[in-house]
Structure 1
Amino acid sequence: MIYRANPPAVPAPLSRLFASPRFASALTLVIIGFAFGTTTLRALIGPPGVVGVLVGLVVLAAFSLTARRAGVDWHGLLPISIMVFVGWCALSVIWSGYPLHTISASLYQLAFTFLAIYIALARDTIQVVRATGDVLRLLLGVSLALEVLSGLLLDLPIAFLGIQGNIADLGPVQGIFGSRNVFGLISLIAAVTFTVELLSRSVRRGLGIGSVALAVFGLLLTRSPVILVVALFVGIAALALTWLRRTPAESRWRLQISLLGATVLTGIIAFAARGRIVEQLNAGSEFEARYTLWREMLRLATLNPLEGWGWAGLWPADVTPFGWLSFVTERLQTSGLNAFIDVYLQVGLVGLVSFLALVLLAFWRSWLLASDKRSLVYVWSPLVLVILLVTSAAESNVLVDFGWLLLLICAVKAAQGKSWRSLLQPSPRRYPE
């Protein structure tokens, strides 16, 4: 009789299943769909149900990554900036005034971090773009269908999903995403994704054109001044990338420096003229509410300037200081409506610096890849990062759920192509033929 010293942890048929490209493709679709649909899932199955689904996805991703480990490209993994920020958020449990919330928020963040790393390792960039496009086509279609049902057929709001049924008045609409700004943000990500799909010929021409039209229609129906400003930045970034990609390689660095200088100058001018810009966008009352919130957040942040109050992710309404901030603004706040101030409040100056390092490194690496690589699919990451970063001045979506997932996917993909650690690795030995 023969005894096997180390029996396999997973039966061979299951191992083949977890290692198969079809399983990775299907799991990627489910993960991205879950990340974009968390608001709806919380309304349908509650936070415990969302956590249960998240745990199940992490387990499946772990099995899949283990089964595929021999064929995974580990180059550039893991960006140190990600490890520093996530580690600091987890470490904040030591001084947090709400340790249980910090522990749960850190575990939630770590779960999405692992899922993002899995997608970045298991799928190529074009496969990530296709998966995102397939998910967003479905979610945008469902959102607009429910808006039509609510606003035209039933003439009743769908309260538990936050759908007010304003489509008869051409908006603003929220879809299944909870607010018009989030719907606009997702529509803009969809528009970029569908355009890259169309121009890279990864989908049929008719499907691509129809998808872009769907995203633009959803974007316009939100009537969100914030997202219109973000769309302007994305358009400028797309034109700059087109210019760079058509510039000869030997002259490209001069153009990069010129664009960087123009960006900094524009930022200074926009900051100086922010009051006039808000007035022209007719967003005065909304901006005043946000400004009141941000001013109070900054005041509270100065009480714990280096370490912050403790990581919380989505704000728990029943603890200090988040309950106080909702009281001051006379509305229930689930985030700081500004990712940078939100990070400063929760994890202090150390956390803010590490977060800025994460997003700026991810953007710079992905921008260089998009400038240098011939394939059009590399344009997707920097444009998505432009959307996330500019929107972060008015929303905190980049810190949780789909925003955090996309940020890390782009960061890991960019690190695989432009990691400084590749300079430390010995070049492959060449043998004479």
Structure 2
Amino acid sequence: MSTGGGAHAAGLIRLLQSADFARAFTLAALGTGFASLLIGRTAGSVTLVTIVIALDVVGAAILFARRDELTLLRFAPTSLLAFLAWTLASTFWSFDRASTLRGWFELLAWGLLAIVIAHVRDTLQTVRALGDVMRWMLAISLGVEILSGILLDIPFPFLGVAGDIAFGGPIQGIFGTRNMLGFVAVMALITFTIEWLSQSISLRLSIFSLTLAALLAVLSASPTVLVIAVAVGAATLALALVRRSAPEHRRTTHTAIGAVVATVLIVCWFLRHLIIRLLDAASDFSIRADLWNEILDWVRPRPVQGWGWHGPWLRGDDASAPYPLNVINFTLDDRHASALNSFFDVLIQVGWGGLLLFGGMSVVAVVRSWLVAGERRSIVHAWTPLMLVALLVDSMFESFTLTGLGWMMLVVCAVRAGQSRSWRERIRDLAEGAPGGHGSGSSQDPLSGAR
């Protein structure tokens, strides 16, 4: 029996180490992230939590089986771990410790799924898995909207679907709000474009995928879609310029791009009222401005530590926000489920200390991935910085990057960027006498061997 048990254990380890199992796990985790609202609204939040916990257990088993492939230097960025530690520490000064612990475990659960994906799949494999999941989710969203708005001509309130596709939108799909659908559509456009340029899928499938994503982006009628699309387009042009420049001129090119970005941001700030009118988003911005001003008033009593991490302000239709988020909603006579801005959300919940950690994690990830994409020839390396640009620009208008799918995608990109270019590896290489090198100087992603 001991021999048989050993054989079963060895077989289980081989299964957990296999490429097919890694792909299946990645598809399941990404599918759960994109379908989280659909699962929660149809099967209940307990079902969603159970699925995520089960995936975390499987993911932890995969990491244990692959422990010989992992190193502490590349496991997770220091900034990510510091942010998780700070949000956990906020339990001690939170007025609702149960809500804080629940919000923190949600961060940890989705973050662990992202870390596993980043370690068992290289960049191209991640893009392919993400593309497969997005095609299905966008197709289902379009099908639900056609069923609601054309075939049955009735709304689906439990999904937040208004059934307005026959009038040209706005539509929500299976993502609850038009802004979330628009954000997912932009992420899909980035992913489908990388798939097409890397020739990892057929031209016919590429055309279908890009058309589907573009159609849903337009039908979402989200005012943030245009802003994100312009930002990603500008980042794409800048990255193409960096990739085409000679290595000895890249520092100058980066400096010029940084100066242009700073100038554009300053101009946009002075022309913000005109831009808001052009986007026909005056009412949306007015709501956000009132909310952000109220948040700043509440930050003053606790500027460094904030009021405790909670993640989403509301959990369920009948739930009330924890203190002082409930007071903010009462003052504004509204039921905001977030600060409608990831950075303001971090600021009110974990103060300037948490905001510096979150901002530092984001900036470091962008810089690392940008430098790697500029140096390496494969176009697939452009996916990480472009996805980060989309995530961070969207963070200016929504708090998607702090929960569920948005947080998972942010952590995937941050871990991927840390694997490709780590300051800790540079220190190690210098200590070992490796002049000027860093741990990822090869043209391939770490852990990108046959799986």
- With normalisation by structure 1, the TM-score equals 0.95
Match of 1:163, as an amino acid? V
Q: Which residue of 1 aligns with 2:446?
A: none
User: Are 1:382 and 2:380 an aligned pair?
Assistant: no
- Alignment-mate amino acid for residue 297 of structure 1: I
1:111 aligns with 2:109: yes
In the aligned structure 2, how far is the partner of 1:406 from the partner of 1:23?
20
Specify the code of the residue in structure 1 equivalent to 2:362.
V
Which of 142, 146, 149 aligns to 1:148? It is 146
CA displacement at 1:326 relative to structure 2: 2.5
**How many residue pairs get matched?**
427
Q: Which of 193, 212, 216 is the matching residue for 2:210?
A: 212
In the TM superposition, 1:192-341 aligns within 5 A as: 192-316=190-314, 317-341=320-344
SS at match of 1:189: helix
* Aligned-partner Cα distance in 1 for 2:357–2:73: 22
Q: Tell me, what secondary structure is at the counterpart of 2:75?
A: coil
Paired letter, 2:223: P
Q: Residues of 1 paired with 2:222 and 2:151: CA distance?
A: 25
Distance 1:304 1:8 in 2: 56
- Tell me the distance in 1 between the aligned counterparts of 2:71 and 2:99: 35
Correspondence for 1:187 among 181, 185, 197: 185
2:365 corresponds to 1:362:
yes
Deviation at 1:329, TM superposition (A): 3.4
Residue 306 to residue 155, structure 1, CA distance change in 2 (3 Å): same
Report the counterpart of residue 344 of structure 1 in structure 2. Answer: 347
* Greater mean alpha carbon deviation, residues 265-274 or residues 236-245: 265-274
The amino acid across from 2:198 in the alignment is: S
Partners of 2:326 and 2:364 lie apart in 1 by 34
Question: Which structure 2 residue ranges, 5 or more long, are not aligned?
Answer: 315-319, 435-451
In 1, the alpha carbon distance for the partners of 2:8 and 2:83 equals 34
Q: Quote the residue 2:81 is aligned against.
A: 83
Partner of 1:128: 126
TM-aligned CA distance change 1:41 to 1:9, over 3 Å: farther
CA RMSD of aligned residues (A): 1.8
Per-residue deviation, 1:102: 0.4
Deviation at 1:332, TM superposition (A): 2.0
Amino acid across the alignment from 1:392: S
**Counterpart Cα distance in 1 of 2:2 and 2:120:** 35
> What 5-or-longer segments of structure 1 have no aligned partner?
none
Query: Hey, what does 2:427 align to over in structure 1?
Result: 424
1:284-325 Cα shifts (integer Å, max 9, x gaps): 111111111111111111121110000001113242222223
Amino acid at match of 1:260: G
SS of residue matched to 1:344 = helix
Q: Percent identity?
A: 40
Displacement of 1:182: 0.4
Matched position secondary structure for 2:169: coil
Q: d(CA) in 2 for partners of 1:104 and 1:333?
A: 19
The separation in 1 between residues aligned to 2:71 and 2:134, in whole angstroms, is 27
Cα displacement string for residues 75-132 of structure 1 (whole angstroms, at most 9, x for unaligned residues): 5332110011110001100000010000111111111111111111111100000011
**8 Å CA contact 1:289, 1:329 repeated in 2:** no
- My pick for the range that moved more, 137-146 or 412-421, is 412-421
Match of 1:412 in 2: 415
Instruction: Output the CA distance in 1 between the equivalents of 2:66 and 2:341.
Output: 38
Task: Give the superposition deviation at 1:278.
Answer: 0.6
**Cα 1:135–1:94 shift into 2, 3 Å:** same
CA deviation vs aligned residue, 1:173-226 (integer Å, no higher than 9, x gap): 000101000000000000000000001000111101110110000000011111
Q: Matched residues in 1 for 2:309 and 2:152: separation?
A: 42
| Paired AA for residue 268 in structure 2 | A
Q: Distance in 2 between matches of 1:327 and 1:38?
A: 28
Separation (CA, whole Å) in 1 of partners of 2:358 and 2:257: 23
8 Å CA contact 1:74–1:121 kept in 2: the answer is no
Alignment TM-score, normalising by the size of structure 2: 0.91
CA–CA distance in 2 between the matches of 1:71 and 1:309?
A: 40
Q: Which residue identity lines up with residue 315 of structure 1 in the other structure? A: W
Counterpart pick for 2:156 among 149, 155, 158 = 158
SS in structure 2 opposite 1:305?
coil
Instruction: State the AA in 2 paired with 1:198.
Output: W
Query: How do 1:36-115 residues align onto structure 2 when only pairs under 5 Å count?
Result: 36-72=34-70, 75-115=73-113
Measure the CA separation in 2 of the matches of 1:408 and 1:180: 24
* CA positional deviation for 1:73: 6.0
Taking the aligned partners of 1:225 and 1:94, their CA distance within structure 2 comes to 39
Q: Is the 8 A contact 2:118 2:416 kept in 1?
A: yes
- In the other structure, the counterpart of 1:394 is 397
* Whole-angstrom distance in 2 between the partners of 1:318 and 1:272: 35
The counterpart of 1:167, out of the listed 162, 165, 168, is 165
Q: Name the aligned partner's letter for residue 393 of structure 2.
A: V
Q: Which moved more, 1:53-62 or 1:39-48?
A: 39-48
Q: In the TM superposition, what is the alpha-carbon distance from 1:330 to its structure 2 partner? A: 3.3
Rounded Cα–Cα distance in structure 2 between residues aligned with 1:391 and 1:10: 47
Per-residue deviation, residues 397-424 of structure 1 (Å, max 9, x unmatched): 0111111111111111111111111122
Aligned 8 A contact 1:73 1:121 in 2: no
Shift of residue 8, structure 1, vs aligned partner: 6.0
Q: In the alignment, which residue of structure 2 is the partner of 1:29?
A: 27
Give the deviation of 1:10 after TM superposition: 7.0
